[in-house]
Structure 1
Amino acid sequence: MTDARHPERWLNDKRIQRLSGDEYRAYSLSLMWAVSNRTDGLIEEIDLAAIPHIRQEHAKALVKAGLWCKCEQGWMIIDFATTQTSKSEIEASERARRKEAERKAASRARSKEGQAEQGAGESAALNVTSEPVTPAPGLSDSTWSKRQDDAWLKYSSPIEAVPSAPGPR
């Protein structure tokens, strides 16, 4: 996604301040159109009608204001190169984003494979099943709960209990 920018200095730019509301909207829309269509500021004659709310009279006013200049193919937005993202910059950014997304996807896949292999090994070692465990007939819920807690502590702790060393005498 790209964005057309309106630099702060345009708040005091006489060329922009002297535009009517419709002319300012035409200029702003022309910037957005040129960025999104990656024209590097070129607005061809045939494309003028494709930009919403822009008419031939706006093009004349923007040339007169010094914001556009007439060229062979149509018009160039004069400050485009210094204020907007060029086609080559957008494409480079997209390539970098795509490459980063691919790198992250590969990393997630490797991590997921490692977790699956590790989980399968642990499950086999502990003889873990996916079937629900229910108390044996005759055990009360509190006895069953205590046995579950004891088993969890025994098999989930990575560090075995080490007898404490005798303290200072």
Structure 2
Amino acid sequence: MPWVRLDDRFPSHRKVALLSDRAFRLHVSALCWSSENLTEGRILERELPVIARVRGLKSAAAELEAAGLWDRADVGWVIHDYLEYNPDRAKVQAERQANAARQKAFRERKKAERDAARNAPRNAVTPASDSNPDDTTDARRRHDGDTNANRSDRTNSASPQVDGFRNAVSNGTPSRPVLPSPSEKEKEDVSKTEGQRPGASVAHIGDRPRIPANCEPLVVALTASQLVVGWELRPDEWFLIEALIARCGIPALVTSANASWQGARTPPRSGRYFLPAWRQLPDAAPAGTPVPALAPVRQLTGTDAKAAGWLELGAKYANDL
């Protein structure tokens, strides 16, 4: 595709800046026409209506001629100094032929690469002369040493595909190792050690969660009201419970927990369930204010009963320490 070369100061040149709009349009259109048709700047008078659709073509051409942009010729005009800034016909044709030859060579090279890839052996499989006559393909070869040393027959070998002593691989399902559980004596020793540690403020019974000593009365009161939940809480949540006990008192917390339990769709599983309601409670009532009796909740069965037993056992051990 040929290109027309215009100086970036073309519009401000003294010959161009004084042109009318239709003369400017005709001149630029004539440059493009000459480059497209390889006329080397020659403009025929009969080609004016095709080059640009403006009124007064002949007067516009005369204006360009008077400005020195077009030179008068026998059958039309020649754009002034066109070949000084644009290539001639021979050079453009030579470049087009070179581009066509380069594109043809590129297409032929790509076609040869595709044909070579299409005709190359697939998966490195070659015909074999020692295959079984009953095999479905000539490419079926003898099994390697990792499976059977026999050839591929119609009857499978009774030996396993993978040796049981090779690479520590066995056909059996691996069993999960069983870790020994701590004895009762070990649990008791751990409990005593935790209780005798300087600065210890939590009760730890066996593998049960650690309950701070300041929060243990609340857990015991909730258990006595048959509100048995888990107490796997974070340290910041235990600090919040200690602050709530000091601000609201254990009876108010138990009453609120009982109400939350009654309004829950399913029995809560963690003491974290009571925290939002506890944080909304007012401060503790003055001393001497009677505490309303708590309504009993459902009878504990199954896992809840076992959890309650663990908490009672924890309270017992905490009192003995």
Q: Which bin holds the TM-score, normalised by the shorter protein?
A: 0.5 to 0.7
- Distance in 2 (CA, whole Å) between partners of 1:13 and 1:96 is 36
Cα deviations by residue, 1:86-122 (Å, 9 ceiling, x for unpaired): 2222211210110001110111122122212224583
Q: Report the alpha carbon displacement of residue 124 of structure 1 after superposing the two structures with TM.
A: 4.1
Structure 1 residue corresponding to 2:118, chosen from 116, 136, 139: 116
Aligned residues: 128
- Distance in 1 (CA, whole Å) between partners of 2:51 and 2:18 is 22
Partner of 2:99: 97
What's the TM-score once normalised by structure 1's chain length?
Answer: 0.67
Cα deviations by residue, 1:1-50 (Å, 9 ceiling, x for unpaired): 22323212324421111111221111100101111111000001221222
Aligned to 1:39, the other structure's residue is in SS state: coil
112 and 123 in structure 1: CA distance in 2 versus 1, 3 angstrom threshold: farther
79 and 125 in structure 1: CA distance in 2 versus 1, 3 angstrom threshold: farther
Q: Report the alpha carbon displacement of residue 53 of structure 1 after superposing the two structures with TM.
A: 2.3
Cα deviations by residue, 1:117-161 (Å, 9 ceiling, x for unpaired): 224583546949xxxxxxxxxxxxxxxxxxxxxxxxxxxxxxxxx
113 and 68 in structure 1: CA distance in 2 versus 1, 3 angstrom threshold: same
9 and 123 in structure 1: CA distance in 2 versus 1, 3 angstrom threshold: farther
- Distance in 2 (CA, whole Å) between partners of 1:97 and 1:123 is 42
Unaligned runs of 5+ in 1: 129-169
Partner of 2:5: 5
Between the two structures, name the one with larger relative contact order (CA 8 Å, sep ≥ 6).
Answer: 1
- Distance in 1 (CA, whole Å) between partners of 2:94 and 2:3 is 15
Map 1:142-161 → 2, pairs under 5 A = none
- Distance in 2 (CA, whole Å) between partners of 1:44 and 1:91 is 22
Map 1:52-67 → 2, pairs under 5 A = 52-54=52-54, 55-67=57-69
Unaligned runs of 5+ in 2: 129-138, 141-321
Share of identical aligned residues, percent? Answer: 21
Cα deviations by residue, 1:49-90 (Å, 9 ceiling, x for unpaired): 221225111110000000000011210001211222322222
Q: Which has more radius of gyration?
A: 2
Whether the aligned pair in 2 keeps the contact of 1:7 and 1:83 (CA below 8 Å) is no
Partner of 1:16: 16
More helix by share: 1
107 and 125 in structure 1: CA distance in 2 versus 1, 3 angstrom threshold: farther
Aligned to 1:43, the other structure's residue is in SS state: strand
Map 1:39-50 → 2, pairs under 5 A = 39-50=39-50
Bigger mean CA offset, 32-41 vs 81-90: 81-90
- Distance in 2 (CA, whole Å) between partners of 1:73 and 1:125 is 78
- 1:77 is the counterpart of 2:79: yes
Matched AA of 1:4 = V
- Distance in 1 (CA, whole Å) between partners of 2:46 and 2:26 is 16
- Distance in 1 (CA, whole Å) between partners of 2:40 and 2:111 is 39
